[in-house]
Structure 1
C-alpha cells in the first residue's frame, strides 16, 4: 500500500461485498438453471453486478482509497450450498427481494457524493421489470417458473427452521433456568426440561398442522367457488378476465380478445382467476400439513434439548453453567443463521442473540431463586 493510500470506509467495503456476493450468486444460479432463457437472464444480471464492482473499485482507487476485491462472503457461499442441496429458489428470493434496496442505496450514495447518475444503477431492476411485463424473449411459462420459485420457496422453510429452533432453545432454557434457580440445579430440573421440550414441541407441531390445514381448506373452498362461478356465469367471469388484463396495461380490445380465448379453456381461465383475483398460489396447496407438523416438532426439540443435556449426567451449579454454555453456543449459531436473511455481520447477530437469550435466562433464574427461597422459608 502506498503512503498516500487511504483506508476504505466500512460502508465502501460493505457495498463492494454486496456487489461481489450478488455477482457470485447470479452466476451460480445461471449455472444450475436448466432453461437457457432463464440462465441467460441470470448471467446478464451477474455481468451487471461485475460491472458495478469494477466501476466502484476504479472510483475508489481514483480517490486514493486502498481497496482489494473481496472473495464471496460466508453468507453468499452458504446460500450457494443451500441452493445446491434444496434448489436455488430461496436464493432467487433473497436476490430479488434486495435488488431495489441495493439500487436505492447506490443512488443515495451518489447523490450525497454529487456523482452523476448514469442510469446503470438500476439495470438489474429494469431487466426484472421487463421480464415481469413479458416484453422479452422469455416466455410466460418461464416467467411463471421464476415467480413460482420466488413465491413458494422464498425462504419461508428456512426461516421456519431457524425460528423454530430459536423458540425451543429460548423457551426451554428459560424454563430450565427458572427451575434450576429454585432448586440450585438439583432434583426436578431434568424432568421439567424434558416436560417443557415435549409440551412445547407438541404445541408447535399442532399449531403448524392447524395453520397449514386450515389455509389449504380455505383456499380449496375459494378455488371451488371460483370454478362454480366460471361454470354458471361464464360471461361475468369473462368480463373479470378482461378487467384483469386491462389492469395490467393491455388495451381494451386486446384484453377482451384474450379473455374470449381464455374462457374457452375452463381450467386455464380458472388458473388465471385463482392467481390474479384470489391471489392464491396453487403450489402452496401441495405442502403436507403432517410434514410441516413433524418438521416443527423436530426443530423445536433440537433447540429445546440443548439446555437440558448437562442434567442427564450431572447436577448442581456444574450442570447450570454447562447448560448456559450449551445454550450460548446454540444461540450464537442461530444468530449466525439469521444473517442469511438480514445480511448483518455474523458476530453482531450471533452475540446479540446470545445476549438476549442469556438475559432471559438470568431473569427466570432470578425469579426461580426468589421463589425457591420463599418456599423453603
Structure 2
C-alpha cells in the first residue's frame, strides 16, 4: 500500500484534494461570474462547452466526498470497536448538521439574521454519518446490498410526490419551505440516495485492509469504475430510467451534448452517481503511485478537507464582497437572503469566465499555506477535537 509516514493513504488524499479544488472553482464561479446571475451554466440553450465543463467537473465533488467519508469511517473503525465507531459517527454526524446551520450558513450568506437556511452538502454528510452509525453493525454483505438497492433503486421514487411535505423533501425531493413565518428553508440535498453512497464507501474501505494486495485493489477499483462508466452511458442512452430529467436532442450538437452530460443532481440520480463515482474509482485504482509537485499540492488540501471547506467559503465570499463594493454594487448586496445567484440586485455584477479562473487560482494559492500549517498541526497534535475538523 502506498502510504505516507503518518499512515495516510495517499491516493485518497489526492482525490479529496482534487475535488476540493474543483469545488472551489464552482463556488468562485457562483460569486464572481457575471453570467451566474443570468442563467444556469448547464442550460443547453444558453451555455457553451467551456462554461458547462467548468460546472460539470464540480459534479464529482459531493459524490466523492460522501464515498470517501465512508472509506475513512471504515479505516477509523479498524482501531475501534463497532460500538465506539458508531458513537463517533453519531457525534460527528450531529456536529456536521450543527455546523451546516451555523458556521457554513454564515459563510455563504454573511447574514446573521438567519432568514434563509439551506440543507446542503455538509448536512448531507452529517445525516449520512448518523445513518452509517447504525448500518455498520450489519454484515459487509448486507451493507453492500443496502447501498446498491438505495443507489440503483431510488429513482423509482421520482414520480411519487407529496404536496407541501417537508418530510418527503428531506428524504427524496428538493423543496422550499417557510418555517415560523420567517425562515426560508431550501432543501437541496435530500437524504436519499446520499446515505447509500457513504455506506457503499464504507464497504469499499475493506479493500484498503493491510492484507489486501495493492495490485488486487488497483485492479478491482479500476474494473468497477470502468463498469460504472459503461453503465452510465447505457442507462443515460436508453433515457428511460435512472434520471428524473431525461436528456433532449437539440439542433446543435453542443446543446445535445450538454443535455446528455447533465443528469439530475438534486437528488443525485443513478446516472449522476455512475457518471461521477465511476471515474473516481478508476482514479483511486490508478493513482497510488503518483508523485510530483501537483500531487503534493492536491494532497495538502486533501489532508484537511473540512478545514479548507469552511475556509474557502469565507475567503471567496469576502473577496466577492470587496469586488461588489468597488464596482458600485455595494458590499451590502453580498449580505444574502438566499443563494447568491438568485440575488437580482447583482445582475450586471461580476467578471468573465477567464477572470473567474484567475481569481480561483489566486484563492487556492492564498489558502495553500494555511492548509500546510493545519495539516502539520493535526499530524503533530493528537487532541481529541481535531478528529472533528
TM over 0.5: no
TM-score by length of 1: 0.24
Which structure's CA Rg is the greater one?
Answer: 1
Of structures 1 and 2, the one with the larger relative CO (CA 8 A, separation 6+) is 2
TM-score by length of 2: 0.24
